[in-house]
């Protein structure tokens, strides 16, 4: 199957700082990528759909000014958590479509102190 990578795999930051997470499709081009968040023992929650060369589409309740998404190339999408707070601590997972099948990256665990 297709390979999706994420960087970093985990990050610890102070409250009020911004954190950028990268998502790359390694062996295919992805015009569409998705960003999910998952809290412990809870379901995946789709945050936004990232489309190459255009603005991301955010799910209801997700603040677009807090979670900045940039999909500048066919292999890279970034999620920036701006002015992070402890309640933003979560497992962030990106996903990309290859041949109409969705593949997930390994996830980024964010801890905001």
Partner 1 sequence: QKEVEQNSGPLSVPEGAIASLNCTYSDRGSQSFFWYRQYSGKSPELIMFIYSNGDKEDGRFTAQLNKASQYVSLLIRDSQPSDSATYLCAVKGFGNEKLTFGTGTRLTIIP
What minimum distance in Å lies between the beta carbon of 101 and partner 1? 6
Per-residue HEC secondary structure of 54-113 comes to: CCCEECCCCCCCCEEEEEEECCEEEEEECCCCHHHCEEEEEEEEECCEEEECCCEEEEEC
Does 54 bind partner 1 (CB under 8 A)? Our answer is no
Does 97 bind partner 1 (CB under 8 A)? Our answer is yes
Count of residues that interact with partner 1, criterion CB under 8 A = 19
Q: Counting beta carbons within 10 angstroms of the beta carbon of residue 76, is it exposed (0 to 12), middle (13 to 18) or buried (19 or more)?
A: middle
User: Binding to partner 1 (CB under 8 A): which residues in 19-38?
Assistant: 31-32, 34
Does 79 bind partner 1 (CB under 8 A)? Our answer is no
Q: Of 81 and 92, which CB lies nearer to partner 1 in the complex structure? A: 92
Which residues are near partner 1 by CB under 8 A? 1, 31-32, 34, 43-44, 46, 49, 91, 93, 97, 100-107
């Amino acid at each position: 199957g297709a390979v999706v990578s994420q960087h970093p795999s985990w990050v610890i930051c102070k409250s009020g700082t911004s954190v950028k997470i990268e998502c790359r499709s390694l062996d295919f081009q992805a015009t569409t990528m998705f960003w999910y968040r998952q809290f412990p023992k809870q379901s995946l929650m789709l945050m936004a759909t990232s489309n190459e060369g255009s603005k991301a589409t955010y799910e209801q309740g997700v603040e677009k000014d807090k979670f900045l998404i940039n999909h500048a190339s066919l292999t890279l999408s970034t999620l920036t958590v701006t002015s992070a707070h402890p309640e933003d601590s979560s497992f962030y997972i990106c996903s990309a479509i290859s041949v109409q099948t969705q593949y997930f990256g390994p996830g980024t665990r964010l801890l905001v102190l």
